[in-house]
Amino acid sequence: MNCLLNTVFFIPVFIYAFYISDFNEHLPFIETIFYTVWWLLFGLLFLLYFAKNKTKIVFYFIISIFTIVFQLLKADGLFYSFSMYKPFVTHPLIVFLVFSGGSFILWNKFIRQVALLSDQLKTTNQGINKVFQDSIFSLAEIKAESDEQGNVVKLWIEKVNNAFESSFNINLHEVQNQEADYVFNLLFRNQFDVNKILLFERPKTLEFYAENLECWLKVSVLKPEHNKFYLIFEDITKTKKTIEELEAGKQRYKVLLEAIPDIFFVIDKDGMYEDFVIKESDLFKIEDASIVGNTIFDVGFPENMADKIYKYIQNCINHNSIETIEYSLNTPNGTFLFEMRLAKLNSHSVISVARDITRQKTAELNLEKAKIKAEESDRLKSVFLTNLSHEVRTPLNIITNFSWMLAEPDLGNDEKIEFAEAISQNGKQLLNMIENTIHLSKIETESVTAKVGFCKINPLVRDIYNQFLSQVPDFGKFKINLKLDVPNPVFGFDTDGRLLSAALGNLIDNAVKYTSIGEITFGYEMIKNEGVKFFITDTGIGIPKDEIENIFSRFYRVKNQINEASSGSGIGLPIAQHYIGLLGGELQLESIPDKGTKIWFTLPFKEGQGYLRVVS
């Protein structure tokens, strides 16, 4: 370029050779003057455009003026007007001056513009540099070196800022123009791969733990130019620690929430659920979609309850009060009872803490029931004790009196038999009552257990039948029947004969006691090969429907004429029921007042013990 620029100075020589000297024969001087002007202008423009040295241009301009003047002088046309008739083509010197002057003006403007822009660029660069240097983040400027194919082959550190120097305890001159890979591996003990972030995977940011510096660093990349990168290092140790603490706090919060037996809802002032927390351990599950965004009017509360909750929410927000409501909720896992507490969260929402009080309420209810039962039992016990003294005294008096009467010398045979029967019957009654009282006390102390062993049923049932026949020789107006389904005299199965006999005895005793006409039938029947159904039917006074539930309570007696006239303690049925339960059966009863009563229960009869089994 320098050579070309110097060549331009030969243009006047070229002009002289072609247009001015005597060699030029083809055109007169004056005709070539404008060729000279245009050539000189071309040279001037070339210099203006390419020359960096201003003197070169001025020098060329002066030579050009001399050349034109010289040619004009030689052609004797310095003052000759060339363009009398062509107003736009005037004196060559003026043409040259006008064009060169215009070019100078444009050139000058261009030069000033360039100077201005370079000034601005300088300021900008200074600004960037200042920002780079003063940034609180550690910055490194990296230059990429590429091969002929444009592939980056090396990354060089151009510069680092003050923060970088102080953070990583290194000086600029130690890292400047060093390979980035080498410097960062040295600084961060291979924890940070600069090639990975700039060339391979190119994530926008990357976090790593610099073990030697004991800090977490976050690196971000800026790429202002094709082969230039800025790496921004940010110490995020505090942020990381805060996140870890928050995580730990969250975990604590979760554990705490799990430990608190409550469900939390955030409800806005219009009754809309904004958020909720239900613990993993909660029995009932609520899907997010079925709560958040819905209002208390949509989630299944009865209308009046929803209205009540809405009113309480308003109270809570307006008066900053704490409101408590109890309600029940039907869920797929059953009905649950809740106690809801509402407290103001902010000016437009409340926090509702709902506690599942199902167990507590059930326990309270059971306690209440147990209390009533205990009171009733207490009352019945006193009645029983009063009865008992009467029950004991009556037969004892009869026995004592009749015993003395038996001793009368002039007593007839019939009378003797009658007195002896009275003594015997009252004695048995007394015995029965004492036995029942013993049974009850054993039940109370939970010392009765079923001692299962092979039990011959037919003899057992027949014994009870005979016992009643002998006890009540004249059944008056009613008949007593025995029904044994299996004729085999030694038929039996595994059960506790003692408990079975006591239960049957009490049930038949009742049937006899509450029947005055008709018949009593008792016995058993086989239910396939699986069970033995025992039954006692009578045609007695029956039991009113609303009393059936009560008669299984201890010491309870239905108020009726027979009970008022006869003895009884109200423990026969509960004892029978308890024993049958121990034997694996369940006492069932059907009764129609004035028609009669049917009581039955089925005991398990396992196969293999064959109801036709003969035991020697």
Q: How far is the CB of 540 from ligand ADP (least distance, A)?
A: 5
Tell me: does residue 551 bind ligand ADP (CB under 6 A): yes
Tell me: does residue 433 bind ligand ADP (CB under 6 A): no
Q: Are the C-beta atoms of residues 157 and 167 closer than 8 Å to each other? A: no
Give me the residue whose beta carbon is nearest to ligand ADP.
Answer: 572
Provide the 8-state DSSP code for 540.
Answer: S
Q: How far is the CB of 533 from ligand ADP (least distance, A)?
A: 17
Q: Are the C-beta atoms of residues 233 and 164 closer than 8 Å to each other? A: yes
The dihedral sign for the CA sequence 556, 562, 568, 572: negative
Q: How far is the CB of 352 from ligand ADP (least distance, A)?
A: 52
Among 426, 557, 579, 602, binds ligand ADP (CB under 6 A): 557
Tell me: does residue 572 bind ligand ADP (CB under 6 A): yes
Buried b (16+ CB within 10 A) or exposed e, 565-595: eebbbbbbbbbbbbbbebbebebebebeeee
Which residue stretch of 30-38, 367-375, 446-454, 555-563 sits at the interface with ligand ADP (rule: CB under 6 A)? 555-563
d(CA 493, CA 452): 10
Location of structure tokens 């029942």: 436
Tell me: does residue 563 bind ligand ADP (CB under 6 A): yes
Q: Judged by CB, which is closer to ligand ADP: 71, or 426?
A: 426
Q: How far is the CB of 263 from ligand ADP (least distance, A)?
A: 48
Which residue stretch of 43-51, 119-127, 551-559, 600-608 sits at the interface with ligand ADP (rule: CB under 6 A)? 551-559
Q: How far is the CB of 366 from ligand ADP (least distance, A)?
A: 25
d(CA 168, CA 187): 7
Provide the 8-state DSSP code for 272.
Answer: B
Q: Which two tokens stand for residue 569?
A: 């303690």
Please name the helix (run of DSSP H) or strand (run of DSSP E) that holds residue 350, with its range, or none: strand 349-356
Closest CA to 66 of 9, 4, 7, 6: 9
Count interface residues toward ligand ADP (CB under 6 A): 20
d(CA 160, CA 179): 13
Please name the helix (run of DSSP H) or strand (run of DSSP E) that holds residue 348, with its range, or none: none
Tell me: does residue 573 bind ligand ADP (CB under 6 A): yes
Among 180, 571, 580, 583, binds ligand ADP (CB under 6 A): 571
Tell me, residue by residue from 576 to 615, as one string, x for binding to ligand ADP by CB under 6 A and - for no binding.
---------------------x------------------
Please name the helix (run of DSSP H) or strand (run of DSSP E) that holds residue 24, with its range, or none: none
Question: Residues 238 to 257: which contact ligand ADP by CB under 6 A?
Answer: none
Q: How far is the CB of 425 from ligand ADP (least distance, A)?
A: 16
320 alpha-carbon distance from chain centroid: 30
Among 558, 582, 604, 613, binds ligand ADP (CB under 6 A): 558
Provide the 8-state DSSP code for 27.
Answer: S
Tell me: does residue 541 bind ligand ADP (CB under 6 A): yes
Tell me: does residue 12 bind ligand ADP (CB under 6 A): no
Q: Which two tokens stand for residue 275?
A: 């958020």
For the CA atoms of 212, 213, 217, 220, the dihedral, rounded to the nearest 10 degrees, stands at -90
Tell me: does residue 503 bind ligand ADP (CB under 6 A): no
Among 161, 426, 458, 569, binds ligand ADP (CB under 6 A): 569
Q: Judged by CB, which is closer to ligand ADP: 91, or 557?
A: 557
Q: Judged by CB, which is closer to ligand ADP: 5, or 599?
A: 599
Q: How far is the CB of 365 from ligand ADP (least distance, A)?
A: 27
Q: How far is the CB of 312 from ligand ADP (least distance, A)?
A: 51
Question: Residues 509 to 538: which contact ligand ADP by CB under 6 A?
Answer: 510-511, 514, 538
Q: Which two tokens stand for residue 117?
A: 């822009």
Length in residues, the chain: 616
The dihedral sign for the CA sequence 448, 453, 457, 463: negative
Tell me: does residue 64 bind ligand ADP (CB under 6 A): no
Residues that bind ligand ADP (CB under 6 A): 506, 510-511, 514, 538, 540-543, 551, 557-558, 563, 568-573, 597
